[in-house]
Amino acid sequence: MSTVTITLPDGSELEVESGATVEDVAYEIGPGLGRDTVAGRVDGELVAKEEPIEADAELQIVTEGSEDYLEVLRHTASHVFAQALQRIHPEAKLAIGPATDEGFYYDVDGVELDQDDLRAIQAEMEAIIEADYDVERVELSREEALEFYEDNPYKQEILEDEAAGEGPISFYRQDDWQDLCKGPHVSSTGEVGAVELLNVSAAYWRGDEDRATLTRVYGTAFPDQDELADYLEKREQAKERDHRRLGTELELFSIPDVTGPGLPLYHPNGKTVLRELESYVTEMNLAEDYDYVETPHLFRTELWKQSGHYDNYVDDMFLLDVNDEEYGLKPMNCPGHAMIFDQTTWSYRDLPERYAEDGKVYRKEQRGELSGLSRVWAFTIDDGHLFVRPDQIEAEVSTIVDMIFDVLSTFDLEAEVALATRPEKSVGSDEIWETAESQLREVLEDLGLEYDLEEGDGAFYGPKIDFAFEDALGRTWDGPTVQLDFNMPERFDLTYTGADNEDHRPVMIHRALYGSYERFFMVLIEHFNGKFPLWLAPEQVRVLPVSDTNLEYARSVAADLEAEGFRVEVEDRDWTVGKKIQQTHEDRVPYMLVLGDNEAEAGTISVRDREERERKDVSFEAFREHLLEERDERRIEPDFLAT
Which of the four pLDDT bands, split at 50, 70 and 90, describes residue 261?
Answer: confident
**Mean pLDDT within 323-341:** 94
Query: What's the one-letter identity of residue 32?
Result: G
State the pTM of this model: 0.80
Q: Check pLDDT > 70 for residue 513.
A: yes
Q: Distance from CA of residue 221 to its chain's centroid?
A: 22
> Residue 329 to residues 208, 356, 365: CA-CA distances in angstroms?
22, 19, 14
Has 185 been labeled as part of a binding site? no
Q: Is 165's pLDDT higher than 80?
A: no
SS (H, E, C) 450-465: CCEEECCCCECCECEE
- What are 570's strand-pairing partners? 543
From the list 369, 86, 77, 117, the residue with the least C-alpha distance to 219 is: 77
334 among annotated binding-site residues: yes
The better pLDDT of the pair 628, 236 is held by: 628
Q: How far is CA 552 from CA 1, 541, 543, in A?
A: 95, 17, 11
Condensed to tens digits (0 to 9), the pLDDT of residues 381-412 reads 999 999 999 899 989 999 999 999 999 999 98
| Dihedral sign for Cα atoms in the order 387, 388, 393, 395 | negative
Interstrand relation of 507-512 and 378-388 (parallel, antiparallel or unpaired): antiparallel
**What tens digit of pLDDT does each residue of 15-28 get?**
989 989 999 999 99
* Structural contact between residues 557 and 543, judged by C-beta atoms closer than 8 angstroms: yes
- Band of residue 368 on the pLDDT scale cut at 50, 70, 90: low
Average pLDDT across the chain, whole number: 92
Return the CA Rg of the chain: 29
Gap between the Cα atoms of 400 and 281, Å rounded: 12
DSSP state of 314: G
Residue 163 pLDDT > 70: no
Closest C-alpha to 496, from 353, 308, 292, 334: 353
C-alpha span between 254 and 267 (Å, rounded): 8
* Higher-scoring residue by pLDDT: 469, 338: 338
- Across the strands, what pairs with 504? 496
> Which residue segments constitute the domains of the chain, with CATH numbers given?
3-62 (3.10.20.30), 69-234 (3.30.980.10), 253-294+350-527 (3.30.930.10), 541-632 (3.40.50.800)
Give mean pLDDT, residues 567-593.
95
Residue 527 annotated in ligand binding? no
